[in-house]
Structure 1
Amino acid sequence: MARSEEAQAFFHAVYSAVQEIPHGKVTSYGHIAKLVGTPQRPRQVGVCLKHLPIDPSARFNNENVPWQRVINAKGVISPRSQPEGSRSQATALEAEGVVVTTGALGELMVDFAEYGWFPRILPSEEGEELESTDSEEGESDEE
């Protein structure tokens, strides 16, 4: 299915942001949405990850985008349409050293206090923010 330029840009931003999540860490769909400038779109982040290509020749694919590192805001691995989906995500996280526990209702969970990754901005944008701050400070000194 062809995507609009806006949708393509959103998918690209989500996949790029997810690639910055460190090995052995997790974050939420909502935090990725916030990092890419659309805090009102956490469900769309999930849609992007659901449609991540499996074709290794695709620019973004399930081998170079660590989709398993994104879970829901409660620290629960979201159930998938197929029952083994959340288990495969848990297995991928466990392979990175993340401890996955089972909640009272059988849900698979990760402790954000231990494994959470919630930077204010993406690491790749840290230099840009410093440049922006420096130029803003320079402007205010002249006033």
Structure 2
Amino acid sequence: MKELSFFDKVYELVQQIPHGKVTTYGAIANKLGAPQASRAVGYALNHSKNLENIPAHRVVNRKGLLTGKIHFMGTNLMQQLLESEGLEIKNNQIQNLEQHLWLP
């Protein structure tokens, strides 16, 4: 049986993020045993655009900033998706991050 690629492992983990919660690029990298690979997690999520059921909008930087929003079609799609799940966003940053943070 073929081992999953790093990108596929990222996708599997991101699919587990509950509705109304977010996690960070670093938390995903740590869970996958590659703590220096936060940026690679971002690359994986950027390549997930054509995949269904990958809630990439639920992954933010360690400060709760929507750093990946430029990769979503429409200027505020990432923010709109998060707000529709009950999160409050101000100045591209999740408010009360600790309340919404999910650690894998």
Question: Which fold has the larger relative contact order, with Cα–Cα distance below 8 Å and residues 6 or more apart in sequence?
Answer: 2
Q: Give runs of ≥4 in structure 1 deviating > 3 Å.
A: 81-85
Name the CA distance, whole Å, in 2 between partners of 1:53 and 1:47.
11
CA–CA distance in 1 between the matches of 2:17 and 2:71? 25
Greater Rg, structure 1 or structure 2? Answer: 1
2:103 pairs with 89, 107, 118, which one? 118
Alpha carbons of structure 1 residues 113 and 44: separation in structure 2 relative to 1, 3 Å: same
For 1:67 and 1:81, how far apart are their aligned partners in 2?
10
Shift of 1:83: 9.0
Provide the secondary structure at the position in 2 that maps to 1:15.
Answer: helix
Unpaired stretches in structure 1, ≥5 consecutive residues: 55-60, 103-107, 120-143
Provide the C-alpha distance between the structure 1 equivalents of 2:62 and 2:85, rounded to a whole number of angstroms: 20
Spell out, residue by residue over 1:9-56, the C-alpha distance to the aligned partner (whole angstroms, 9 max, x if none). Answer: 1011000000111110001100011111111100000000001142xx
Pairing partner for 1:77 from 66, 69, 73 = 66
The C-alpha deviation readout for 1:62-111, integer Å capped at 9, x for no partner, is: x30110000011110005268945x2111111111111122xxxxx0113
2:43 corresponds in structure 1 to 47
Which whole-Å CA distance do the structure 1 matches of 2:71 and 2:78 have between them?
Answer: 13
Aligned residues: 101
Report the aligned-residue RMSD. Answer: 2.2
TM-score under structure 1 normalisation?
A: 0.63
